[in-house]
Structure 1
Amino acid sequence: MAPIRKPFRLDPSFPLEVVYRGVRYSDNELPDHVHDLFELVYIHEGRGTFFIHDTVYDKEAGDLFLIPGNTVHRAFPSADEPVVSTAVFFAPALLQSSYASDHYNPLQSFDTARKKKQYKISLPEHVKERIEAAIHAMVNELATQEAGYQQAIALHLQQLLLQLFRLPATRNSANAATGIAPLWMLAALREINRDPVQCGSLASISARANVSPGHFSRVFKELTGMNVTEYVNTQKLIRAKEQLLASDDTIEAIAISCGFQGMRHFYQNFKRLTGVTPRQYRVLHHAAT
């Protein structure tokens, strides 16, 4: 199954959504998906695993996951202990006013997660309490919507991110892969993410991993929920999204540089992932900046 685009209907002037204490079962969890919004996931109860980018993590109560925009991810709740979690989705534009002159970056924890490819954070107990309090305060503001509630929510989010910013750097990189995925698969995933255009076919990727194509495909599907071709195409589309916003290259040139030889194939896959055409995506995002 190809990754889906999670639908959001956000107010452009206040791009934030909170899903509070949602109960996640295996049959109501989203398949592999990506989106432009940054996502913060806090686990209240239950157990499961989380596939993010190229790593599989255990998850349990008190865990925090940071998912930068355009990061492929999928949750796998336990059948016996379904996960109860809160997800906060927001656009970085919401935090523009919180940048200060003392080198503070409210998205530093997300930047660290992306740079080190480690998306799970271990939290001290006092920080867990503060994060839970900030989440609860945001939910209350959303429920009551008293005058100034949007500003209040933004302030609570900023306070939450400040707590993460103040954690020692080791806290942002303390959690590596849990050992659920074999090392050869993690290496293959990193190779695909590094260069999805030149990573080669299933046969060549599995040969470099020293396993058969059939075994590689089975393990890959179990870990990511996608087949190899779908995953590679998703990484190509993520690269195309980045180039559409970072350059003035033509759409055709971007499609070719990202490994799509046919424009019809590129347009179909891009719209399936984002909900809009490449041209609409570029215009919408340029208009918002």
Structure 2
Amino acid sequence: MSAERGASLASEGDFLIERHIADAMNAAHWHDHVELNYLLDGQMTYIFNGRQEQVEAGRLVLFWAAIPHRTIAVTPNAPLVCIYLPLVDFLGLPIDRGVRQSIMQGRFSADARGHAADAILLPQWVEDWQFGDAARRQLVLDEIKLRIRRFVLDVPVGDHSAARPSAASGASAAVRRAETLTDLIHARYSEPISLPMLAKLAGMHPSTANKIFRGILGIPVNEYLMRYRLARAMQQLAETDAPILQIAYDCGFGSSSRFYDIFKRRTGTTPRLFRSSLGREGRAD
């Protein structure tokens, strides 16, 4: 099963763990889960939050998949275990608040040190989830939550460089130019920006900027901007009590009606129901 297929299955909002041969994605995608990846062998490279991230065998990685991401390079026949944990389950974990916030703000976290037990436990979890009864499946979920808590304990608190890593030294000119565009989006998503404005700030022609961006992330600049705005709005809905109208403006949607329309079309639910599903009510708008 491909990573895109697994993410599609997980997009319904349920927990999922599966094993497949890692492959490159045709385009960046997103889904509302905290995702954990564990390569049993080989390497792969992600474009996540507009940056290149190396994933090595034997090192668990964790990120919030609502941030657009794409695998662009994979060792042939590399076996990968993917875990998709619903956001509500992640937010319910008793973990450091600063680490949780940094993850929801776009941090790509790798285990500080490899744990030999992971190479045994993760394939076992896949098997138990696929073939076990309800009690065994619940045990898998409980054990994964405990593993995440251990993972978070090893994540340095306050290390903001981890949330915005520098480009790999061997990054191509196209990747660096795509990173420039994503940096601008991350800095200005709350403003009424457009592709021509972003391209001008990046020193590119709009059609050139979009072509480069499509080549690296597989989606247009405006699509990335919309998905990034939605991710930031989901973060505020999950972590703050701010009124929905304020969130709509803070995240660049311009009006609450436009925010509701886009949010419903893209997520299948409304901002208010999304917030309620996470156990938050927020203040009246």
- Note whether the superposition's TM-score is higher than 0.5: yes
1:40 and 2:3 are equivalent in the alignment: no
Q: 1:216 to 1:61 in 2, by over 3 A?
A: same
SS where residue 88 of structure 1 aligns? strand
1:52-71 CA distance string (max 9 Å, x none)? 11212344534543112532
Unaligned runs of 5+ in 2: 1-7
Match of 2:220 among 211, 227, 232: 227
Q: 1:167 to 1:241 in 2, by over 3 A?
A: closer
Partner residue in 1 for 2:64: 68
Cα distance, 1:275 vs. partner? 1.6
1:18 and 2:12 are equivalent in the alignment: no
User: Structure 2 matches for 1:140-155, cutoff 5 A?
Assistant: 140-142=127-129, 143-145=131-133, 147=135, 149-151=137-139, 153-155=141-143
Match of 2:52 among 42, 52, 56: 56
Please give the TM-score of this superposition, normalised by the length of structure 2.
0.73
Distance across 1 between alignment mates of 2:195 and 2:146:
44
Partner residue in 2 for 1:81: 76
SS where residue 34 of structure 1 aligns? coil
Partner residue in 2 for 1:177: 167
SS where residue 39 of structure 1 aligns? strand
Q: 2:16, 2:85 within 8 Å by CA — same for their partners in 1?
A: yes
Distance across 2 between alignment mates of 1:247 and 1:5:
31
Q: 2:44, 2:56 within 8 Å by CA — same for their partners in 1?
A: yes
Unaligned runs of 5+ in 1: 11-15, 100-104
Partner residue in 1 for 2:3: none
1:177-227 CA distance string (max 9 Å, x none)? 324354443233123123312273222322222233232222111222211
Distance across 1 between alignment mates of 2:118 and 2:90:
17
Give the root-mean-square deviation of aligned CA atoms: 3.9
Please give the TM-score of this superposition, normalised by the length of structure 1.
0.72
Identity percentage of aligned residues? 20
User: Structure 2 matches for 1:162-241, cutoff 5 A?
Assistant: 162-163=150-151, 165-166=153-154, 173=162, 176-178=166-168, 179-180=170-171, 182-198=175-191, 200-241=193-234
User: Structure 2 matches for 1:207-286, cutoff 5 A?
Assistant: 207-245=200-238, 246-247=240-241, 249-251=243-245, 254-261=247-254, 265-286=258-279
